[in-house]
Amino acid sequence: MRPRLPSPLRELSDPRLTARDLRLWLKRDDLIHPEVPGNKWRKLKYNLVAAREQGQRTLLTFGGAYSNHLRATAAAGHALGLATVGVVRGEELADRPLNPSLAFAVERGMRLVFVDRATYRAKHTAPVLDALLAAHGPAYVLPEGGSNEAAVRGCAELPAELDDETGDEPGDGFDVVCVAVGTGGTLAGLAAGLSPGRRALGFAALRGDFLTAEVADLQRRTYGAPTDNWHVATDFHHGGYARRSPELDTFLADFAHRHDFAPEPIYVGKMLFGLFALAERGTFAPGTRLVAVITG
Ligand SMILES: *Cc1c(COP(=O)(O)O)cnc(C)c1O
């Protein structure tokens, strides 16, 4: 399971940014590994180390029917000879043909356990977790989306890969790093790994304001206190998780045409939409150097 690290970084040339004296680099984490891409590789890294240290032979985790985290966990377990169990939200899915995400997870050896929504909501409580471990364990348990302290530490390694490449002189690098937010583990780590004076900007792919508290809590659990160098933009979700809008579709089609690169729409597309919208509103001062993390 050899990753491509550091992942490639390339500058994007776009007249909408040049007009405002902004520069933008794409951090291509989607190219880290074909089956464990993007932030999923970074989030699994120290969890897999911990699982091995604890002598666990099984990984047990949680996700929705289209979870990239379930796919990545199945692939990582397969590559490392660990059994994997995926607890999936939605009892009714058990009777339906598997969608491509779940079919891939099963192909990589993951055992799927479908649970109803109430059970899924209670997944991190002792009664539910104990019952799952009694039936399918013992196992190393990864939370939904893989976001825990070990995942945050893995994502905190990203900023060190950016420095030499985004500036002409040492120490003359980027100013703001942008990333999509699902459960918040990636943003929590990214922000914690930044050197002083730099900022991280998250774009929520889901509706709601809970993600700011989530990111702060992940930083508190990992480092003892949250950092004050990040922000979550909550108005670019386009209707909620996996929802789209005509504006988003138009932006993405245009982006693919201009740059010969079609971003993943559920997370990355919304982040890029938000970044360009903020740029056009004049949110970033002229001269700002931006990095957009292509998480998948
Ligand atoms: C899982 C995922 C995210 C969300 O990451 P979090 O750490 O849960 O916030 C973002 N982008 C892509 C492509 C993903 O698969």
Ligand 1 pocket by C-beta < 6 Å: which residues? 38-39, 68-69, 145, 147, 180-186, 264, 267-268, 295-296
Mean pLDDT over all residues of the chain? 95
Q: What is the pLDDT of residue 208?
A: 85
Domains 9-33+152-293 and 57-138 share a fold: yes
Phi and psi, residue 88, nearest 5°: -110, 135
End-to-end CA distance of the chain: 17
Shortest-distance atom of ligand 1 to CA 68? 15
CATH class of 57-138: alpha beta
Residue 92, both tokens: 């009714």
Residue 145, both tokens: 């989306």
Q: How far is the CA of 168 from the centre of ligand 1 (A)?
A: 31
Tracing tokens 């990239």 back to the chain, one arrives at: 68
The domain segmentation of the chain, as residue ranges, is: 9-33+152-293, 57-138
Q: Whose CA is nearest to atom 4 of ligand 1?
A: 182
CA dihedral (46, 48, 50, 53) in degrees, to 10, reads -130
Which tens digits make up the pLDDT trace of 173-215?
899 999 999 999 999 999 999 999 999 999 999 998 899 999 9
124 vs 231, residue with greater confidence: 231
Q: What residue spans of 98-239 are helical by DSSP H? A: 100-107, 117-121, 126-136, 149-155, 185-192, 210-223
For the cut 90, the answer to whether the pLDDT of residue 295 exceeds it is yes
Architecture label for domain 9-33+152-293: 3-Layer(aba) Sandwich (3.40)
Which tens digits make up the pLDDT trace of 44-63?
999 999 999 999 999 999 99
CA distance 216 to 228: 9
- Name the DSSP class of 145: G
Decide: 87 and 69 in contact? Cβ < 8 Å: no
Q: How far is the CA of 295 from the centre of ligand 1 (A)?
A: 6
* Predicted TM-score of the model (pTM): 0.96
Checking 267-271 for CB contacts under 8 A at 24+ apart, the result is 267/180, 267/182, 267/205, 267/295, 267/296, 268/30, 268/180, 268/294, 268/295, 268/296, 270/180, 270/203, 270/205, 270/236, 270/237, 270/238, 271/178, 271/179, 271/180, 271/203, 271/205, 271/236
Q: What is the pLDDT of residue 282?
A: 97
Decide: 237 and 207 in contact? Cβ < 8 Å: yes
Q: What is the pLDDT of residue 224?
A: 98
Nearest CA-CA partner of 290 in 39, 12, 7: 12
Phi and psi, residue 252, nearest 5°: -70, -40
Q: How far is the CA of 175 from the centre of ligand 1 (A)?
A: 22
Across residues 87-109, what is the average pLDDT? 95
Nearest CA-CA partner of 23 in 147, 178, 161: 178
176: left (phi over 0), alpha (psi -120 to 50) or beta: beta
Across residues 9-30, what is the average pLDDT? 97
CA distance 259 to 10: 12
Decide: 295 and 177 in contact? Cβ < 8 Å: no
Choose one of 70, 183, 237 to mutate for the ligand 1 pocket test, by most ligand atoms within 8 angstroms of C-beta: 183
For every residue of 190-221, DSSP letters joined together read HHHTPPTT-EEEEEESSSSSHHHHHHHHHHHH
